[in-house]
Structure 1
């Protein structure tokens, strides 16, 4: 049954109290009444007035308590993650309407934000894939052709000094090709497409250990073959960003990546023993917001635990 509006209830209670006061005053003013004297009349009216004030205070407190609860919920709502499930709406009709409208607005905002973020990140992934393909198929092929021609010229030259110079140039071109392929793989990890998430993360950690000269470990528990492609891609990108932060910003000596899966659930943990950070602008520079946006795309949640001098731990649950 729908409860009446606040105005209706206040008016009804006051009308009843006024009616009771009028009846009491009529009884007191009756010549045959035992409450004819002014003291009795004053007591009756004072009691009626006190009762009116007390009932109004109680009624307003009861009716405004849900509104205060709603105001507190609005003040502390967390817009960085998916909206919490709405509680059962209780209270005056006006408050129930406001609460339902507020939660509907949060759901619309979340849907619009997720759609915009999804479109932006998908466009980013397509651009990464295009650049990686161009680097591999065009630039790398051009460098390969250049290297072959250079090698042919080196074999034909009779000048030892020139041949040595050409060999050094060829070595530089080979190094550039290797770095180019690493860049292309970083833009779009072919291992992820070909072998899956577990192999891609293992390759990522192995590369970090080899190139950054730090001790890095990778552990995986569970089956990840049936995970949706978007979940695998988001998980890889979050791990890639967290590992990059550990190498470039944290000054870490040890890195650990752990992947745990079971059924439709997945948990990724990336921890390091670096310098840590204290939130604020540091979090913006480290791309934490971008990682959270990616996590939201697959219905997941990202938590970051870090303190200055105590390292950082990034956890993705999806």
Structure 2
């Protein structure tokens, strides 16, 4: 009782907006259930013959799809059967109290839904459109990519619902996940230790990928046949590839900010900001987004390899093999981002724990 009383006295005063944000665990499950249900109904419409189904044979670029030749009347019912039960699972996890459905069933269904959604229905076009947007080359955002975005958001809402549910089951704070006497690995000192290891991996892998693209732009056909290099040269493709690789390399350098002082305090050369505290979300949000999109893109390349799409490209390994390490890059970046969050989160605005 004394510990709780002391924590209540130490709890900082927060604004109404901050208090509202700290209550996300109480609402996220209902948001996820509604989103999944509505998108499930859309797939019911497509299953009944409605126009506009975005996946499978109707995909604008079916060669990237896991369901390249699957018609809408086959794939839409599958998606509806995936989304509508997921909506019910999200609702069960959101409702207060304990449900009769075993928690392992609910959590198992959740993570299976997230894995299938990200591995089978999303691909590197999400990352590509983001990269070209940064380069001020707005790509053709087609209907398939828009629906991939819907599915990825749905998977994210589902994962957040499961996280809030797990915290509630172990009587942890829903906002920060901390308990009295929590695990040591979440302490700032421990997070700094394993976060540095994750950053090393997250920096090395993109430079390995970038080295092949820079080589092509410099006239060195590293990992590709002379024929393919000449074809790309005619379309100036290798210069665009070098530009994208440079973005990846710059992103890798920015990853160092997750363990360096300039990732917490703006450096002197940033006029108007020098010496000020870097808002944690300024690093956490983009790093989390990029780690997710990189992982999705890398999984797509692995999937295409398993499907045999690259069997005749043994001479052109440079176009695919570096990308197959992207899931490791994404996982390392996500881990480094988590460590950065744990080091900088401070006192919880909901429970007051530090």
Kindly indicate which of the two structures has a greater share of residues assigned to strand: 1
Q: Is the pair's TM-score, using the shorter chain for normalization, greater than 0.5? A: no
Taking structure 2 as the reference length, what is the TM-score of the superposition?
Answer: 0.26
Greater relative contact order (Cα 8 A, min sep 6): structure 1 or 2?
2
Higher-Rg structure is 1
Taking structure 1 as the reference length, what is the TM-score of the superposition?
Answer: 0.28
